[in-house]
Chains A and B, each alone.
Chain A
Amino acid sequence: MAHPEGGDAVVEFREVTRRYGGVLAVDRVSFAIRRGEFFSILGPSGCGKTTTLRLLAGFEVPDAGEVRLFGEVVNRKRPYERELAMVFQSYALFPHLTVARNVAFGLEQRRRPAAEVRARVQRALELVRLDPGTFARRLPAELSGGQRQRVALARALVLEPRVLLLDEPLGALDLKLRKEMQLELKQLNQQTGATFVYVTHDQEEALAMSDRIAVMSEARVAQLGSPAEVYENPRTAFVADFIGEANFLPGTVTGPAPGAPALVEVALPAGGAIRVPAAPGLVAGAPVQVAIRPEWHDLFRPGEAPPAENALPGTVRDVIYLGETMHVLVHLADGAAVRVALRNEGQLAKPLPWRAGDPCVVAWLPEDCQVLEAP
């Protein structure tokens, strides 16, 4: 159902607030989720992401604001009155029912005929790649963690919900299985056309699966955007730090960069200056904080850095082997630590030419500086 303001939104939060006692769990949160979208709510524990999902599911009632589902305000509707399905972090399978009966539960509540229930349960189990012949008659206690996860997913998907809520559904799985399930969930989202609302604290997971991510911090949405937007264009220090890794440089704007109208010059407290993209607020005297991703830096011998790039001298402190990348820990002249990520081209065949104690220059393009909003 289209809504004049909601447009294509199937889910909409308008200034939603939820308090526990005096503590704000969700503070004036607003966002709209589009039809068919894979939407993640990402944040550290205690940021309000699970409460947000529970407000949407109907397990919590907002203290203020509006929760809209398909254009309709559902603030006070009970969960069984909402056309949603939810996958819980702990799976919440009914221990006294077989896999088939667990999956059939929601259809039975909707009073579907037995033959239809049987057929749909079968299809749902096949959809999550559980062989009905092997698993239908097992009890949850007889399943592995990954299998339980699939049953929980089938139990929700069998209802063919227009919106599927997932509360950290992969948290209890080991890394390999988690990666596998991430792909499968993404495929299910495309295959079923359902809108997925996915809560996680795992930034890699959110980046890998989502169409859009709402990053939450301290009961508020800190930033909302595509994975590329929140990673490459973090607006606050929190987002820059929580998603991926970042080096932070505080400084003061001194004025337009000579010979580069699109850039302004920022003086660093320990001396030296860098150039960052010009923006309306960046006038002389303004304090700024700049974030740079480790992989946007490059490392040079003193005097060899390209003149168009920002360049800060320092000393290599440590080289860390991470498989895909090598992190070089550099201490700048003022003692600040900067991480530089370099591609690992094979330490056995082509070892990195940096050793602890080597003098070096950390360089990067001025355009790669993310000027952060004051928190």
Chain B
Amino acid sequence: MTRRGLLARLAGRPALRTGLLLGPGALWLVCFFVVPLAILLAYSVMRRGAYGGVEPGFTLEHYARVLDPLYLGILRRTVVLSLATTAICFLLGYPTALVIARSGRWRNLLLFLVVLPFWTSALVRTYAMIFLLRDTGFLNAALRALGVLREPLHLLYTEGAVLAGLVYGALPFMVLPIYASLEKLDPVLLEAAEGLGARPWARFRRVTLPLTLPGVAAGSLLVFIPTLGAFVVPDLLGGAKQMMLGNLVQNQFGPARNWPFGSAASFLVMSLVLAAVLLWLRRRDRGALAREGP
């Protein structure tokens, strides 16, 4: 059969064509997402093996254990840090995106600079932050040389260091979607607002911001979800004291050799993400339905 013949046959059979287009991707996801997820779910209700792994049986004790105050504290910190990361990324990212969107011919260069950190591994960048923040690091040395400080500030292994690292890693994911929505914003709407008497701040609050909220929402999800599962940054910049859920999961599969508990904790993270997304979708739909009165 010739190639032409194959294409002609496909054109006549939309179901087959859709299957061929969708098949490879679907197969990939089934193999490497659905199957491991099912295994993880099974592990989370099985008994812990003595040297890692699992033993047959059924128990919900691992889920019960997640509710232990110790772990709830980690959960709380994870959610708070993720929300704070998202908020800071928004506060830093929106003005950045605004400037880039209005920068004319410099736009591409600035966008390039935003994604430049991706050119090196996140691990290397995080280690670089250690050298920046530690007691004998660049920041302390500089502040002492300037006479601002006598004793070094303990910056590393604090919640602040973790937050700084998380924001640094996630910022481009906030900037890019906001930039995209600003780019789509029709400039004539801004002129209309100005023509109707809106000063710059009112114009931003009443027109620019509401019309770019989809970009803010997309950026927030892109920042919040990966931050919930972060483990490299809190591990390297937070040490043992600033554990997040990601570290807990990593620990259970690693040194603690408690795979069922690690699985249960993973599902906890996942259910949090799911809850966050559903909440956002519901709010968005309600927003679309709600009509402000005259």
Point out residues on A near B: beta carbons under 8 Å: 57-59, 78-80, 84-86, 88, 90, 92-98, 100-101, 104-106, 109-110, 118, 121-122, 132, 136-137, 139, 155-156, 159
CB under 8 Å from chain A, chain B span 237-294: 291-294
CA separation between A98 and B189, bound complex, in Å?
Answer: 15
Closest B residue, CB atoms, query A155: B196
Binds A, one of B45-53, B103-111, B197-205: B197-205
Asked if B294 and A92 make an inter-chain contact with CB atoms under 8 angstroms apart, the answer reads no
Q: How many residues of B contact A (CB 8 A)?
A: 21
Asked if A101 and B192 make an inter-chain contact with CB atoms under 8 angstroms apart, the answer reads no
The one of B191, B196, B210, B294 that contacts A109, using a Cβ cutoff of 8 Å: B196
B201-215: CB near A (< 8 Å → 1, else 0) gives 010001100110000
Give chain A residues whose Cβ lies under 8 Å from the Cβ of B292: 97-98, 100-101
Asked if A105 and B206 make an inter-chain contact with CB atoms under 8 angstroms apart, the answer reads yes
CA separation between A38 and B268, bound complex, in Å?
Answer: 69
Question: Is the CB of B22 closer than 8 A to any CB of chain A?
Answer: no
Question: Is the CB of B61 closer than 8 A to any CB of chain A?
Answer: no
Give chain B residues whose Cβ lies under 8 Å from the Cβ of A59: 191, 194-195
A134–chain B nearest beta-carbon distance, Å: 12
Asked if B210 and A96 make an inter-chain contact with CB atoms under 8 angstroms apart, the answer reads yes
Asked if B194 and A78 make an inter-chain contact with CB atoms under 8 angstroms apart, the answer reads yes
Asked if A101 and B195 make an inter-chain contact with CB atoms under 8 angstroms apart, the answer reads no
Closest A residue, CB atoms, query B203: A80
CA separation between A79 and B192, bound complex, in Å?
Answer: 10
Give chain B residues whose Cβ lies under 8 Å from the Cβ of A155: 196
Question: Is the CB of B218 closer than 8 A to any CB of chain A?
Answer: no
Closest B residue, CB atoms, query A132: B294
Point out residues on B near A: beta carbons under 8 Å: 186, 188-189, 191-199, 202, 206-207, 210-211, 291-294
Of all A-B residue pairs in the complex, the 8 with the closest CB atoms, nearest first, are: A100-B294, A92-B192, A106-B196, A109-B197, A136-B294, A79-B194, A86-B195, A92-B188
Give chain B residues whose Cβ lies under 8 Å from the Cβ of A132: 294
- Selected A-B contacts with CB under 8 Å, 9 pairs: A58-B195, A80-B194, A80-B195, A80-B198, A86-B192, A92-B186, A92-B192, A95-B211, A109-B202
CA separation between A96 and B291, bound complex, in Å?
Answer: 10
Asked if B188 and A118 make an inter-chain contact with CB atoms under 8 angstroms apart, the answer reads no
Closest B residue, CB atoms, query A152: B192
Give chain A residues whose Cβ lies under 8 Å from the Cβ of B192: 86, 88, 92-94
The one of A57, A93, A98, A136 that contacts B195, using a Cβ cutoff of 8 Å: A57
Given A105-B206, A109-B198: A137 and B189 within 8 A (CB)?
Answer: no
CA separation between A110 and B197, bound complex, in Å?
Answer: 7
Asked if A100 and B196 make an inter-chain contact with CB atoms under 8 angstroms apart, the answer reads no
- The winner among B194, B210, B294 for most chain A CB atoms within 10 A is B294
Asked if A101 and B294 make an inter-chain contact with CB atoms under 8 angstroms apart, the answer reads yes
A128–chain B nearest beta-carbon distance, Å: 15
Asked if A105 and B291 make an inter-chain contact with CB atoms under 8 angstroms apart, the answer reads no
Given A92-B188, A96-B210, A96-B211: A79 and B195 within 8 A (CB)?
Answer: yes
Asked if B191 and A79 make an inter-chain contact with CB atoms under 8 angstroms apart, the answer reads yes
B124–chain A nearest beta-carbon distance, Å: 43
Closest A residue, CB atoms, query B294: A100
Asked if A88 and B196 make an inter-chain contact with CB atoms under 8 angstroms apart, the answer reads no
Asked if B188 and A88 make an inter-chain contact with CB atoms under 8 angstroms apart, the answer reads yes
Asked if B294 and A104 make an inter-chain contact with CB atoms under 8 angstroms apart, the answer reads yes
Asked if B293 and A100 make an inter-chain contact with CB atoms under 8 angstroms apart, the answer reads yes
